[in-house]
Structure formats: C-alpha cells, structure tokens
C-alpha cells in the first residue's frame, strides 16, 4: 500500500485507469455501432426475403432456393451454417407450412408447434427477434401474398452475434496490449519527469536526518541549481527549500554562537568564582576555630555561612564540569572496576541517609569492568543515589543492580526506588539542566537541578546511554556503558 501512495505510482495508475475507461467506451461504442449496423442490414435482408417468398416465382416451393443474399452473404450463412433461413406460411392464423431453408439439399421441414411464436409476426411490423426452441435466435419479418396467406421469414442472428463477439475479443486483446504498453510508457515518462522532484526530496531527507537539536551544525545541503529553476513547479519548490535552508542555517549559526558565548561565560564565571569561594571558606574555617569565643548567635551564623559556601562551591564545580564536557574536553580513559565503585557509593549513601533502605544486586564475585574516568563514573553513581535519597521519603527502598548484558557487550547499572515517582509532565525533561520537580523542596534539600544532567553528559561522553522510566511505586534509572574488553584490569597500568 505504501508504494501506491507515491506520486509516480499514482500518476501511472491514474493514466492506466483513464486509458482503460477510454478503451472501454471506444470498444463498447464500436461493438454497439457494428451490431446496430449489422442488424439494420439483416432487417433489410429479411424484409426483402419475406416479400420475395410471399410472391415467389412459379415452381416447386420446397425446392425453390432463397434469394442469393440469404445463401452466401455475410448474414445469410456459410458452409458451417447451411440452414439459416426459417420460412413459415400462415393461413387464417394457422401454420400450414414451416421449412428451414439453406443451400439446395439442406432444407428440412420444422414442426409447426416449434415455430409457433412466429405467428405473432404481422405484415408491416418492423423486423424483430424471436428465440425458436432448438433452432436459436432469428430475426423475423412478414409479408402478405397474392393468395392472402402470410409468409413469415426469419434469418438466424448467430453469424451476426459471432461477428460482434469476435470483434469484442479482438478489441479486448488489442486494448489490453495497448493498456500494458501505455502503463510501461507512463511509468518511464513519469519517472523521467519526476526525477527533479526526487532529487529535491532526497535533499530534504538528508537535511531531516541531520542532528540539528544541539551543537555546531554546518547546513551545507542545498537543492542543485538545475532543480531550483522558478520557471517550473518543481523548481519553485526547490528554490523555496533553498531559501528555507538558508534561513534555518542562519538561525542555527546564531543559536550556536549564543550557546558558545553562554558556555564560555559559565565556564569563565565558574572558574573566577572558585577563588573567592575558596577564600570565603578559608576565612570561615578560621573563624569557626574560635567559635567558643563568639556569642552563640554569631557562631550559628558562621556555621550557616559555611554550609551555604559549600553548597555554592558544589554548584560552581558542577557548572564548571558541564562547561568542560560541552567544550569536548576528553575524560580520563583507564580500567575501572565498576563493582567496587558501586559498593563504595552505596556505602556512602547508607551513611548519608540511614533512614532509607539500601540494597545491592551484584552479579557475583567476578568484577564488572569498564574503561573510563573513575572519578566521573563515581560521580554518576553518587548523583543517581543522591537523587533517590533527596526525592524520596524516609523508608524508601533503593536497589542498585549491576550486570553484564550477554551478547551486547554492555554493562547495565540500574538504580530503582519504590518512591512516589516522577510526574509525567516532568519525566521527558528530568535530565535537563536545572530541572526540578518541586522547587520549594529542591531548595530545602539543597538540590541544584544539575545532578541528572551531569549523569547524562558523563554517560554520553563514555559512549553510553541513560534511560529513565517512572510510575508510582517504581522509578528506574538505567545506565548502559560499553563493557571493557576481557583482561583489561589485569593488563592495565
């Protein structure tokens, strides 16, 4: 069905259907015209024969031959149809004689009851067709003789109908061949005519497959000049597509320039903020050493300032990491025992949130190995656990699973909790930067909205994939990473 939806196929099918309708009209019209013409000839012939037989020359009536036209003409018969003229003599409403005539020696009498329908034919009535049982269809006409008897003559219509039937068969064969040839010619012509449109479509398809959502995009695809001539309909489409691609390219360049400036600003600002933040933390720690000499309220303010400084330092570090990842700076590439890394991260999470229930699901004693940056991979696991800890109530069960997907060369890390789940409207955007489901709660718990975006960026930098699925009672974060080749840990530095 899909192939029939293409413009080329629809044009070919439309052409074939149109020609078929034309051929049907022409064929049916020709057959009907020929049939009418032959019947008019037959009517003239049967009327002439009826007049001839009603007043015949002197002689034996049984041996008197029919008129010459009835014996060897087109509608009179032939060698394979020797008896084709039916003569019925009616006197005072009764059939007194019925003979089937043909060439000399082929005439034979017919029972009157067999030709009884012929009585209905009256002199002066236009010729009409009657079916005679056992003999076939005849065209009848009548004439009155000098002796008052009525002679009814019928000529067989079999030859006429055979001629029309043969014409119909020949028309069907000829028109069928014509339709096939027309279909081939239409397919070739439409393919040749639509070739420019196919090239325009190919250009649009190549552009649609480009990754335009982010990053620097060089939109060099254009419709060739030969297919962008505004003097033709296809050329107008090609020219409009080129103009649209030009506008899209300019918009993408402006977007990339804006993103570049923003990333540079974030990187520069994050880098510049590290120095004053370090100084503030240093002064805060120095002041905290003499907290016993300060009033209690001042000591509390110092403690609060220290915690906020730590939070701001973590935010600056996260922004700086994302800026580095955006800039394409390569991460470390070394063997990593992901099993040990997961165990350490879960242990830290258990210490940080003992009110949650933490569970490990490991494949066995054999370590699960990947190649990557151990610090960043630890950050991935820690951020996923921190996300589960921050956004689920106490008592929530958090299960961390690690396994190797056989045959795919993939290491799969699952972090599953039985908490309230992620709102459906937030789920498609939860890994975006500064995405937060509950702004007030996020601010209370210290969430910056960058944790999952860092996870997504680090996983993508390692050639992996992050998948998120959530419903009430189960939220699952799945990280797929390329598995390390066999023996990497044993042969690594």
Q: Kindly report whether the global pTM for this prediction surpasses the value 0.85.
A: no
Q: Tell which phi-psi region holds residue 268, choosing left (phi > 0), alpha (psi between -120 and 50) or beta.
A: alpha
Q: Please state, in angstroms and rounded to a whole number, the distance separating the CA atoms of residues 190 and 164.
A: 37
What's the pLDDT at 309? 81
Q: Please state, in angstroms and rounded to a whole number, the distance separating the CA atoms of residues 360 and 417.
A: 12
What's the pLDDT at 25? 93
Three-state SS at 286: helix
CB atoms within 10 A of CB 330: 8
Give the H/E segment covering residue 113: none
165 contacts 172 by C-beta, under 8 angstroms: no
pLDDT along the chain (493 residues), means of 10: 65 87 91 92 90 72 50 43 76 86 73 86 87 89 87 90 91 90 87 79 78 68 77 82 82 76 71 77 78 78 80 76 73 87 91 91 83 89 90 91 83 91 85 62 55 86 90 91 69 43
What's the pLDDT at 73? 41
Three-state SS at 403: strand
What's the pLDDT at 140? 92
Strand partners, 403: 412
What's the pLDDT at 138? 92
Q: Please state, in angstroms and rounded to a whole number, the distance separating the CA atoms of residues 292 and 47.
A: 142
Contacts of 28 (CB under 8 A, 6+ apart): none
211-329 maps to CATH 1.10.287: yes
Burial of 218 (0-12, 13-18, 19+ CB in 10 A): exposed
Contacts of 174 (CB under 8 A, 6+ apart): none
Domain boundaries, the chain: 10-165, 211-329, 334-491
Q: Which CATH architecture has domain 334-491?
A: 2-Layer Sandwich (3.30)
């Amino acid at each position: 069905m899909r192939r029939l939806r293409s413009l080329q196929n629809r044009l070919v099918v439309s052409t074939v259907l149109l020609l078929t309708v034309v051929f049907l009209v022409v064929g049916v019209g020709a057959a009907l015209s020929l049939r009418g013409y032959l019947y008019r000839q037959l009517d003239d012939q049967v009327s002439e024969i009826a007049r001839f037989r009603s007043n015949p020359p002197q002689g034996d009536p049984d041996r008197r031959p029919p008129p010459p036209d009835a014996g060897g003409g087109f509608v009179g018969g032939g060698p394979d149809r020797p008896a084709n003229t039916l003569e019925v003599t009616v006197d005072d409403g009764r059939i007194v004689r019925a003979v089937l005539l043909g060439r000399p020696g082929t005439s034979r009498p017919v029972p009157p009851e067999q030709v009884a329908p012929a009585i209905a034919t009256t002199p002066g009535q236009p010729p009409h067709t009657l079916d005679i049982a056992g003999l076939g269809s005849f065209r009848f006409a009548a004439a009155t003789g000098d002796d008052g008897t009525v002679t009814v003559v019928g000529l067989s219509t079999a030859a006429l109908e055979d001629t029309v039937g043969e014409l119909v068969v020949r028309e069907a064969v000829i028109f069928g061949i014509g339709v096939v040839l027309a279909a081939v010619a239409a397919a070739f012509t439409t393919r040749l005519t639509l070739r420019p449109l196919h090239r325009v479509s190919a250009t649009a398809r190549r552009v649609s497959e480009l990754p335009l959502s982010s990053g620097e995009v060089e939109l060099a695809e254009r419709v060739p000049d030969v297919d962008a001539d505004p003097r033709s309909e296809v050329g107008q489409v090609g020219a409009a597509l080129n103009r649209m691609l030009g506008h899209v390219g300019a918009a993408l360049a402006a977007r990339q320039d804006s993103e570049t400036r923003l990333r540079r600003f974030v990187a520069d600002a994050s880098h510049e903020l590290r120095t004053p933040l370090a100084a503030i933390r240093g002064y805060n720690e120095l002041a905290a050493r003499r907290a016993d000499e300060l009033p209690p309220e001042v000591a509390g303010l110092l403690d609060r300032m220290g915690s906020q400084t730590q939070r701001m330092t973590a935010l600056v570090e996260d922004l700086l990491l994302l800026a580095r990842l955006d800039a394409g700076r390569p991460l470390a590439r070394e063997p990593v025992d992901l099993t040990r890394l997961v165990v350490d991260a879960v242990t830290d999470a258990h210490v940080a949130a003992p009110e949650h229930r933490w569970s490990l699901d490991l494949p066995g004693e054999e370590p699960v190995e990947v190649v990557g940056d151990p610090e960043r991979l630890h950050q991935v696991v820690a951020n996923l656990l921190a996300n589960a800890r921050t956004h689920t109530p106490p008592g929530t069960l958090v299960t961390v699973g690690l396994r190797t997907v056989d045959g795919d060369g993939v290491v799969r890390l699952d972090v599953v909790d039985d908490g309230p789940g992620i709102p459906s409207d937030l789920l498609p955007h939860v890994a975006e930067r500064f995405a937060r489901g509950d702004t007030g709660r996020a601010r209370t718990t210290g969430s910056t909205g960058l944790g999952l975006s860092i996870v997504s960026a680090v996983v993508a930098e390692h050639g992996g994939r992050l998948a998120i699925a959530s419903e009430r009672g189960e939220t699952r974060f799945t990280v797929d990473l390329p598995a390390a080749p066999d023996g990497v840990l044993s042969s690594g530095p």
